[in-house]
C-alpha cells in the first residue's frame, strides 16, 4: 500500500513538472512553436517517456488553460453562497479573482494567446467555466442592487468591467515589481466597491 502511494505521488509530481514546463514553453514559444521534444527536454525525459504522463500536447494545453479557473470557481461559489452582505461578498470575490489571476498569470496568458488551438470540446468547456465566473459576479452585484447597497446600474456591463480590470493583470503584473499581488487585489476590490456603493 505504501509503495502504491509513493508511486502515485511520484507520478503526480512528475506530471506536475511537465505541466509547468509546458506552460512556460507555450507562453514563451507558442503552442505550435513548442514540440513534444522541447517539453521532454525541459523536464529531462526522453520524448517517448513523456507519453507515460500525458496523452497529447493538446491535453496539456487544455490542462494549462483551465487550471486557474477550475481552482478559483469553488472559492467564488462559496463566497456567493455565504452569509456575508453583498458588499463584502463583492470585495472578497474581486480579491480572490485578482489573486488567482496573478498566481496563474502564465496559465491565463497561454489561454489568451492559444485559445484557438484548443480542441472545440475543450474550448466549449472553458467557455462554460468562464461564464460561470461571470454569473457569480453578476449575482453578487445584483444582490447588492436589490438590497440598496449598490446603486442602480447595468449589472451585465459592470460585471464585464470588473472582470476585464482583473483579467488585465495577466498582461502587466510582475511578481518582482514594486506592488504585490495582494496589494493589487486589495486596490481592485476597493475601487470596485466605491464604484458601486450607493
Domains of the chain by residue range? 1-55, 61-196
| 3-class DSSP assignment, residue 15 | helix
Burial classification of residue 106, based on how many CB atoms lie within 10 Å of its CB (0-12 exposed, 13-18 middle, 19 or more buried): middle
pLDDT confidence band for 107 (50 / 70 / 90):
confident
**Quick count: other Cβ atoms within 10 Å of Cβ 96?**
18
What residues contact 141, with CB distance under 8 A and at least 6 apart?
Answer: 86, 90, 150, 153, 155, 158, 159, 162, 196
Strands of the chain, DSSP E? none
* 61-196 CATH pick, 3.30.70.1150, 1.25.40.10, 1.10.357.10, 3.90.1150.10: 1.10.357.10
Q: Average the pLDDT over 52-70 and give the result.
A: 86
CATH superfamily for 1-55 is: Homeodomain-like (1.10.10.60)
pLDDT at 4: 54
pLDDT in tens, 125-148: 888 888 999 999 999 999 999 999
- Whether 112 and 69 have beta carbons less than 8 Å apart is answered as no
pLDDT in tens, 146-169: 999 999 999 999 999 999 999 888
pLDDT at 81 over 90: yes
pTM listed for this prediction: 0.82
pLDDT at 170 over 70: yes
Task: Give the torsion through C-alpha atoms of 134, 22, 105, 112, to 10 deg.
Answer: -50
pLDDT at 82: 95
pLDDT in tens, 1-27: 555 566 666 788 888 899 999 998 998
Amino acid at each position: 500500500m505504501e509503495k502504491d502511494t509513493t508511486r502515485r505521488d511520484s507520478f503526480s509530481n512528475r506530471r506536475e513538472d511537465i505541466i509547468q514546463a509546458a506552460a512556460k514553453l507555450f507562453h514563451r514559444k507558442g503552442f505550435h512553436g513548442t514540440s513534444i521534444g522541447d517539453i521532454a527536454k525541459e523536464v529531462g525525459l526522453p520524448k517517448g517517456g513523456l507519453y507515460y504522463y500525458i496523452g497529447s500536447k493538446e491535453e496539456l494545453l487544455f490542462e494549462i488553460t483551465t487550471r486557474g479557473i477550475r481552482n478559483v470557481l469553488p472559492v467564488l461559489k462559496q463566497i456567493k453562497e455565504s452569509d456575508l452582505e453583498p458588499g463584502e461578498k463583492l470585495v472578497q470575490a474581486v480579491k480572490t479573482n485578482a489573486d488567482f489571476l496573478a498566481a496563474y498569470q502564465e496559465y491565463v496568458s497561454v489561454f489568451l494567446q492559444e485559445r484557438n488551438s484548443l480542441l472545440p470540446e475543450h474550448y466549449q468547456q472553458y467557455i462554460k467555466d468562464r461564464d460561470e465566473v461571470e454569473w457569480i459576479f453578476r449575482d453578487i452585484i445584483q444582490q447588492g442592487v436589490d438590497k440598496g447597497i449598490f446603486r442602480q446600474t447595468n449589472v451585465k456591463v459592470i460585471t464585464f468591467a470588473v472582470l476585464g480590470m482583473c483579467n488585465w493583470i495577466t498582461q502587466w503584473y510582475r511578481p518582482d515589481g514594486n506592488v504585490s499581488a495582494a496589494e493589487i487585489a486589495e486596490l481592485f476590490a476597493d475601487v470596485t466597491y466605491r464604484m458601486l456603493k450607493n
